Amino acid sequence: MERFNERSGPFSLASKRYSFLRLIREELDDALGSYRNQLELKHTLFDVPGLSGKQPFSCVVRDLGARGTEDKIRRTLRRFSESMLFTQDNEDSRFYDTAETLLELLIHCRSKQPAKRKSVSSQFNLQRPKELCFLCGAPSEFLEYFSNHESWALIDDDEKLKLSHKYCYKHRPKRRDGTWNPEYRRARRNRENFELEAERLLNQSAQPALLKPHTGTLDIDRYIMTLIAQTTLQPADEDKIRNLARKIVNYRISDRKKQILMLVATGHKQADIARRLKISRQAVSKALASIPNEFRLV
């Protein structure tokens, strides 16, 4: 990590010659590989990117993207800390801290700009992270203003400091008048489902032709693969993928509905689907009627 930090000056995710992927491959892949070989069996049971499996960390970041890798690390750490295997001994703490360090590294890589930009007329920090909204794929409120020179010039420094770099205007926790935003509250309640759907879609978009075991249920996994193939989304389309995940959650496209859609796409009749899923035919019909056309498979 010290060598990584020393060399990271000219590197960024936006650079082709000095890409962070190259720096991760040169400085971290071998070190993480050596650490993986020392892990206890219980730690290898949790699929933490870079700390489990045989795939180098740089390859995981390349396939999932920095944001997708972050989301996967967070979800896996949450499962580990809630499991019976987590005893908070020295090895557990070391494993957890290492994963947290990788998270911090990814956030640094994602927010770092190729060159510093200075504001001559104000004390405003232009190096604040500029990223997507935590609850959808829209640009953060800060990024939306920052990327539009005319809008940026129209607001004063005090207003700039109030811009959120975590949420878009629709999902910012509080409105400008100080009242709580109901859209934020609604999206916050189902954030875990949103992160799960976004992780599945990002993971599948990295290898769209390969059926991945997202849920362990074949019909649901095939639906996710077919949906990604149908939309032609790739990891670089992270904003569109996250917006798609937000729609899936908002329209309540549950795993059962995904299964029904996949069975319909493969030619099964509603009565056959009802028998297969052990539900009533009316339940199948009602589920299909509640699903927008954009989620139906061609």
Residue 126's domain comprises: 118-189
Task: Say yes or no: 198 and 271 in one domain.
Answer: yes
Query: pLDDT 10s per residue in the chain (298 long)?
Result: 888 888 888 888 777 778 888 999 999 999 998 988 888 888 888 888 888 877 899 998 888 888 888 888 888 888 888 888 888 888 888 888 888 889 888 888 877 655 544 444 444 444 444 578 999 999 998 888 877 778 878 888 888 888 888 899 999 999 888 899 999 999 999 999 999 999 999 889 888 888 999 998 999 999 999 999 999 998 878 899 999 999 999 999 999 999 999 999 999 999 999 999 999 999 999 999 999 999 999 7
Same domain (yes/no): 207, 273: yes
- Residues 53 and 124 reside in one and the same domain: no
Nearest Cα to Cα of residue 199 among 111, 96, 75, 288: 75
Q: Are residues 199 and 279 in the same domain?
A: yes
- Report d(CA 274, CA 268) in Å as an integer: 10
Question: 101 with 124, same domain?
Answer: no
How many whole angstroms separate alpha carbon 260 and alpha carbon 287? 8
The CA-atom distances, in angstroms, between 138 and each of 57, 106, 134, 166, 245 are: 27, 20, 9, 10, 12
197 shares its domain with 278: yes
Is residue 128 domain-shared with residue 207, that is, in the same domain? no
Shared domain for 182 and 263, answered yes or no, is no
Residues 152 and 248 occupy one common structural domain: no
Question: At which of 111, 138, 169 does a domain end?
Answer: 111
* Domain end call among 189, 217, 250: 189
Structural domain tally of the chain?
A: 3
| Residues 163, 164, 166: CA angle, nearest 5 degrees | 160
- C-alpha–C-alpha distance, residues 32 and 55, integer Å: 11
Last residue of one domain, picked from the residues 95, 111, 127: 111
Answer yes or no: are the C-beta atoms of 168 and 141 closer than 8 Å. yes
Q: Is the pTM of this model over 0.75?
A: no
